[in-house]
Chain A
């Protein structure tokens, strides 16, 4: 058994310690907002926060998350940055197919939690690990800037 704190709740999971966190979240806890894209930390679709830091859950054994705070797309709206990012995403109609957007939002929320007014270079650095096959990058950039502006005003 592995004990995890996910979105503020303690969860006991019967999984081998080397099982990737992604599959524990999805297959065991049915938190399906976190997506499987590549399995080798190349696309960012599986991004979650571990003690506030963005990590690729497909390549992190669940044992490494034990005792830490895991935040997923289902819980990010409870954070100031996450709430602003999600609202901006909706305002800008960012998603197309939407499959990568949980990961995009998690990366963007982590960026905004650290930098209140990220530059284009900051956005490039924080977001280039997240692939979007629909090509929504310009809308993502605009939404991040809008979220930064709205969070500042809040």
Chain B
């Protein structure tokens, strides 16, 4: 995932061809594809397509996964803007797996890290602009006119004389032309689609009628449905199994032992589940049978007290002698992603290769991994990406695709591996727990002069198996949101201590390290403000003089929320501001606290600066979505362990925010000409501290451990 300078030539970027029936096909490779292909000394693949059919239908083939974030609308919009397409004729098609679709930021085909718009902002626009130039050239040739006398509007080339030809009419001729050596992109001031409200999602109808196909909706002839009995303790193994009763269940076809547990394969989910219920397994629990949340907390707390690798060091935090010193220990728990669609994958290992059907965020890595699992060349692994019923990072992990492929290889049949909700929730890949010790100092005037944080947490980099802890020993995800503390404080130190309780598999969870670290930092800054006797908004503002974009969203959120103005009786405000994934987001939460101490979030006012936007309606929905995701976790989310076992199992004991608890949410976008930032994740980090700070304002009780209703 290391960024490298790209030296792909124009020739590699673009290739055009004729479509059967007389259309235009533009194949282009994304910059990341060339990068990896060159590294591997292979020919650059050419299969990312934009198709213009004689019927005027324009198809954008999208290599990114749609998990609700709207990428299947945003990517076509980028093309359509530069193409001057008629949006009503634009459709999107999910691509297969091909290095041509490598995410330019990752260098592999994958969707995550709020990278899609950032990585495709330019290449997709270039594809649209190139097609437009070729269509104009084709029209000019037809009319024997000068291309300079032709313009484009809504899917037509228009000559200054008033003559018009549609893109569909011109596509066949354009396909015979040589693509231009270079194209000029529009000045953003001339955008008609990008950054404007009102462009509708392309997937709403399919998702409102039951027609949208998710991974679980795949059915193949002769397919078996599998569920796996997993070891109840992490690292456990099967000691012995009696499968006689399982095999006697009507519909059960096979029981097989695999490294991850015992799989029951049946004619459908229900038979597979009944078969699994009937298995008699003796487990060897291994080394983690006494793992407990109390023990985990102690281990992390000890790590934070001891300190570790230094991630940032300015001034001299150790020698600083502030007039007032504030110390606090903060803690966040493990979290499950709990996508609405339980994890699953359908795989079919045949003699000629492997084919899978999955809602996955990581087609590229899956192709490589499954080639190894099945013992075939990567080119023999075909990935059919279905709609994802939520992703949040969890669908970046390979466990379902590996499990299904192993089972298909063993049985020789197409296999749909299904995780029950309990399997999904108890299947690890959690947002890591963290304990962080914070020290802050104020001078006699109440100005912050010292901030130090000692973080103890498992390493996502090591857990990912595609990254390594860097030489300085600081996990980038473990400290993000604290190491990048934006406040102007002269003595600043951040340390990281890697702790791996139980060797638990940890993973990327919507906004990753920011999800807990922003809670720690923005709550602690609130503590400092109160210790200084200052207003939490003004205190932050005074420390953000060198950070105009932070300050901009902070001020906008405060203004729109009416910060400082009276609220209805019993309602209190809290504020927080965070930068993550290249975007800045501040939130003001308005919270009332019931007589029993239960908080109710009444309203959230968010301000976001994500640079130039593609679709501001989707931007607002993503911020609102991220608020709900973060608020759910802040109020209720915790995965805990007792006797080595995960205590939670389903939505009754791992609670979700529901309609009756939903706050009003307002999102205000800062107009910007900056490069686009991410939008899927940046709304999540500020909500937990904004709510916790509001609860402090209401009750005087400082929340230092999540969840709030823990």
Contacts and interface: CB of A to CB of B under 8 A. Distances in A.
Interface of A: 16, 19-20, 23, 26-28, 30-40, 42-43, 45, 72-74, 77, 86, 89-90, 93-102, 105, 123-125, 127-141
Contacts of B665: 138
Contact of A130 (B627, B628, B629, B659): B659
A130 B658 CA distance: 7
B651 A86 contact: no
Interface stretch (B31-39, B46-54, B209-217, B253-261): B209-217
B625 A135 contact: yes
Interface in B191-231: 200-201, 203-214, 216-217, 219, 225
Nearest to B420: A39
A35 B391 CA distance: 16
A133 B269 contact: no
B621 interface: yes
A124 B269 CA distance: 32
A34 B209 CA distance: 10
Contacts of A26: 269
Contacts of B658: 128-131, 137
B338 interface: yes
Contacts, number: 170
B250 A137 contact: no
Contacts of B69: 96
Contacts of A97: 66-68, 339-341, 387-391
Given A35-B340, A36-B418, A135-B629, 15 more contacts: A37-B342, A40-B652, A77-B209, A86-B208, A95-B68, A95-B203, A97-B341, A99-B339, A99-B389, A132-B340, A133-B338, A135-B624, A135-B626, A137-B658, A138-B664
Q: Which 3 pairs between the two chains have the least Cβ-Cβ distance? A: A33-B210, A135-B628, A99-B389
A95 B269 contact: no
Contacts of A141: 659, 662
Interface centre among B208, B214, B390 (most CB of A within 10 A): B208
Interface centre among A31, A73, A132 (most CB of B within 10 A): A132
B70 interface: yes
Interface in B130-188: none
B238 interface: no
B421 interface: yes
A125 B660 CA distance: 8
Nearest to B225: A27
A142 B267 CA distance: 41
A36 B389 CA distance: 11
A31 B391 CA distance: 24
Interface string B53-75: 00000000000001111100000
Interface centre among A34, A45, A99, A141 (most CB of B within 10 A): A99
B218 to A, nearest CB: 9
Interface residues of B, number: 61
A23 B266 CA distance: 13
Interface in B539-561: none
Given A27-B225, A35-B341, A127 B210 contact: no
A139 B628 CA distance: 13
B411 interface: no
B657 interface: yes
A58 to B, nearest CB: 10
16 contacts: A26-B269, A28-B268, A33-B210, A35-B216, A38-B650, A40-B650, A40-B651, A40-B652, A89-B204, A90-B205, A96-B69, A96-B621, A128-B658, A131-B651, A133-B629, A138-B624
A27 B68 contact: no
Nearest to B625: A135
Nearest to B510: A133
Nearest to A127: B659
Nearest to A105: B208
Contacts of B338: 133
B390 A99 contact: yes
Interface in B280-336: none
Contacts of A72: 210
B656 interface: yes
A83 to B, nearest CB: 11
Interface centre among B201, B270, B388, B657 (most CB of A within 10 A): B270
Given A38-B651, A42-B650, A102 B210 contact: yes
A72 B250 CA distance: 27
Given A45-B340, A140-B659, A32 B390 contact: no
B66 to A, nearest CB: 8
A85 to B, nearest CB: 9
